[in-house]
Chain A
């Protein structure tokens, strides 16, 4: 997927423009939603905020680490892998908590009840740098003494949680690893897409994919304005409407320790 910069309504601001990287963990299929988010953040930050889309987590993480974007909405897994260089800007609140789950889904007609029943099947992962779309399942298999390559007959990455659901729905894969938040929102907004899938297993509650910045920029004015814009979204009707479209309750400050469980999963898989 090509990187792109979304068009933004011309806003004359004195402050320098900000950029926020977006990854497929987000519902990036809805361009109108992204345009609204960009406009709302720009209004609140007092300067233009550009949303920068990348195809993979690695792409957006690399852009963040290279200082090409002010902040990026990344996954908890890259955050813990680069924890020494990154800092949290804000963490989304879903159903009142900064937490979410990874779902193991399968075709509705597949005679399987647990992960073990998926042996020899095909499996769709979201992204090799995704917690819910890779790490959780890889961790479960590691604990069972195997790896995705050995356990599944075939596995592939779709580079998008929505794509994982599409792949399982179409029968391209028998099962998939997907962000539980994304699956739940799709079940509400695009029920036809999930009706031929079912959830086999849900992971423990883990830190919701955060908005992060370079640790060196954590106290910069740009990062502060962006954090204020995100945290302040529930303060007025515009912000609440936007959050409603995102099916989120808001953004909050959270300690990096929120992602320690993910760090432990990663450590066990690597081991």
Chain B
């Protein structure tokens, strides 16, 4: 797995990470909302209590501030403290207009007559600031007939509120972390579970090699929903491929047999032709064998006749060996094709022009090479009209063996010609083009190719086989 490219990570990793990321984002937003709501609620509650306290105390302190009565002021703020126990009060003080303390709930810290240390920071009647600091000061001015006579100051300890928010934040963080972990794990498990059929299919394809085979029924039974349909369609496709390949193999075999039949017919003709003369020679030997001249002539005739028959039979035997031999192709082996196709050419009154420019063996499998070339040659003969010419040229260029076969026929049908351009061409549906497809398949096994060359009339095909290469290991 390429960790540097997250978009290439497996879904089983990406989805849980995405879920976790979304949950983290949601939890951050939710936590912010919850904490800000909590802070607002705390501020509203504390501000409400502080207002109520200041309302009551400032009214009760009015007379004490006017008379500057220390005890009465103390009595008011001290009693009020016990009445507002929900208010996180640190101290309350009645201040005179000059900022000195008239009385405070904690006289030891705020002695009577001392100047209130934060007098300059105190803003009368200002609303309670957002609860950020552990200590806040709120003040309320007291007037008598429009004359400022003092103020009430309260100091609040907000550490409990801040601690509550801290606890809430920690609890939210832990809860969200647990939920994120839980859902990420759940997501990972679910995605793995959901992708199990994909993994199964992938593993099956990897094990099947190039030829897909149907999944076992037990595997289909374990999945449901879309994957059940997918597996069923996959199996249908795999079976269709199998059937098609079987059909193609059968057709190829039939084609081979058909070629063989045509060859057998030609061979029989080739054998039959000299047989009449040879029988005559035998009769001549029987009648006039004593004459040395007649005997020598008859024996020579028989030798030539038998030699021709031997050539034809040997070429036929070599040609249809099933497996590649791995032997290099000699010029003579390729010339044998001329003998094999010759009878068919003569039967169809087609002129065969043979130009084998090889002068030494080449490193190409002779059996497969001759199968391809013979196929192409017979196709060219079959496509040619009577009295037409089929030209065969065999030559090498650096690294390649080229076998070029030109006919003067009507040209290749479009669908057959299309097979030449595709490395993975499927076998044709009918018999037309089957020979070319077979030749193509074998050429691919040799690592070569067949291409069509431009020609004024007819069709020119060129078989191109790389030299110094062994045929591919697997058999057709």
**Would you call B108 and A171 a contact (CB within 8 A)?**
yes
A170 contacts partner chain B, Cβ-Cβ < 8 Å: yes
**Would you call A172 and B113 a contact (CB within 8 A)?**
no
- Give the total of B residues in contact with A, Cβ under 8 Å: 14
**Would you call A154 and B74 a contact (CB within 8 A)?**
no
B75 contacts partner chain A, Cβ-Cβ < 8 Å: yes
CB within 8 Å of A: which of B12-45? none
CB within 8 Å of B: which of A52-101? none
Count of A-B residue pairs with CB < 8 Å: 33
A154 to chain B, nearest CB (A): 6
Neighbouring B residues of A104 by C-beta, 8 Å: none
**Would you call A170 and B78 a contact (CB within 8 A)?**
yes
B189 contacts partner chain A, Cβ-Cβ < 8 Å: no
What is the bound-complex CA distance between A158 and B74, given in angstroms? 10
Residue interface bits A118-157, CB-to-B below 8 A is 1, else 0:
0000101000000000000000000000000000001011
A22 to chain B, nearest CB (A): 19
Chain B residue with Cβ nearest A159: B71
**Residues of A at under 8 Å CB distance from B?**
122, 124, 154, 156-159, 163, 166-167, 170-172
Chain B residue with Cβ nearest A122: B112
B299 contacts partner chain A, Cβ-Cβ < 8 Å: no
Neighbouring A residues of B105 by C-beta, 8 Å: 170
**Would you call A154 and B112 a contact (CB within 8 A)?**
yes
Majority SS of interface residues in chain B?
loop
Chain B residue with Cβ nearest A166: B78
**Would you call B107 and A156 a contact (CB within 8 A)?**
no
Neighbouring B residues of A158 by C-beta, 8 Å: 71, 75
**Residues of B at under 8 Å CB distance from A?**
69-71, 74-75, 78, 103, 105-108, 111-113
Neighbouring B residues of A167 by C-beta, 8 Å: 71, 74
Neighbouring B residues of A166 by C-beta, 8 Å: 78
Neighbouring A residues of B71 by C-beta, 8 Å: 124, 156-159, 163, 167, 172
**Would you call B69 and A172 a contact (CB within 8 A)?**
no
**Would you call B113 and A170 a contact (CB within 8 A)?**
no
Neighbouring A residues of B112 by C-beta, 8 Å: 122, 154, 172
What is the bound-complex CA distance between A156 and B112, given in angstroms? 11
What is the bound-complex CA distance between A171 and B107, given in angstroms? 5
Neighbouring B residues of A122 by C-beta, 8 Å: 112
Given contacts A124-B71, A158-B71, A170-B107, 15 further A-B contacts (CB under 8 A): A122-B112, A154-B113, A157-B71, A158-B75, A159-B71, A166-B78, A167-B71, A170-B74, A170-B78, A170-B108, A171-B108, A172-B70, A172-B71, A172-B107, A172-B112
Neighbouring A residues of B108 by C-beta, 8 Å: 170-171
